[in-house]
Amino acid sequence: MLVNLGVVEVDATEVTSGSANSGLSWSHIDKTQLYTNGFIFNENSTKVLLGLKKRGLGCGFYNGFGGKVNPGETPADAALRELQEEAGISSNLAHAGTLLFTSAADPKLHHIEIYRGDDWSGEITESEEMRPEWFRVPSYARSGVIPTSAIKEWSDVPGEDGLRTVPFGQMWADDRFWFHLLVAKRPFIGRVDFGEPLVKGDLNSAPLLKWWFGEVNGKGADG
Ligand SMILES: Nc1[nH]c(=O)nc2c1ncn2[C@H]1C[C@H](O)[C@@H](COP(=O)(O)OP(=O)(O)OP(=O)(O)O)O1
């Protein structure tokens, strides 16, 4: 199906969508900032490396490693640079998905290109910005099925391996909608508009106003 995400029309199959108010349209934006976000998996995607963000926007949230794309860089270059700067490692990153994100507190479009790596070299190292930590990928995420209630129930329970499962309660609120697609290497695209923060000045408390996430039709994650 063709879907209009406000700034782009995409051919994708809906995975999830919703709106705080059924009449709501995508918020208008006229500036775009390009970002990357990179997630490292072990063999078989049973574990994922996330970082606890120690400062700035998203402080206190777990996330992939990433940041702004500098002038003259491709998103793939930036994803690798940020992984090296924030976690001390390199990886053969493959493009996995695209996330468009707006926030009432910051009227520009955050366009995030998302990458995954299935290997890494170097020593995983804490940086000024991120504290890296491995999490167990829940089996339902590997199967590509996403029962949202299960995510809420299971997200913070440690497994037999001593690892916590992916902590959706401590991540950006939309990540639970697309994470299983990242795990299953199913290319995805989506948009989320966040409202005014519930706690003044704390962007982490902003509620989801409207979202749409889908699987891109007809193209593999690596091609
Ligand atoms: N997984 C994610 N889900 C989400 O909804 N928004 C995310 C996200 N990861 C990052 N963002 C948003 C937060 C912020 O607006 C923007 C970039 O956040 P980052 O922490 O990646 O970059 P920084 O602002 O630290 O950039 P640098 O200073 O270049 O490192 O994208």
For 19-63, write each residue's pLDDT tens digit.
988 888 998 888 999 999 999 999 989 999 999 999 988 889 999
| Residue at 68 is within a domain | yes
Confidence (pTM): 0.91
| Residue at 70 is within a domain | yes
| Residue at 130 is within a domain | yes
For 57-97, write each residue's pLDDT tens digit.
888 999 999 999 999 999 999 999 999 999 999 999 999 99
112 lines ligand 1 (CB under 6 A): yes
| Residue at 142 is within a domain | yes
Domain count, the chain: 1
The DSSP code sequence of 73-109 is --HHHHHHHHHHHHHS-B--EEEEEEEEEEETTEEEE
| Residue at 24 is within a domain | no
Looking at residue 100, its amino acid is: L
CATH number, position 145: 3.90.79.10
Atom of ligand 1 nearest to the CA of 194: 5
Q: What is the best residue among 29, 31, 35, 213 to mutate for testing ligand 1's pocket, by most ligand atoms within 8 Å of CB? A: 35
Domain with 150 in it = 31-199
Q: Are 35 and 69 in contact (CB under 8 A)?
A: yes
User: What is the b/e burial string over 138-177, where b = at least 16 CB atoms within 10 angstroms of the residue's CB?
Assistant: beebeeeebeeeebeebbeeeeeeebbbbbbebbbbbbbb
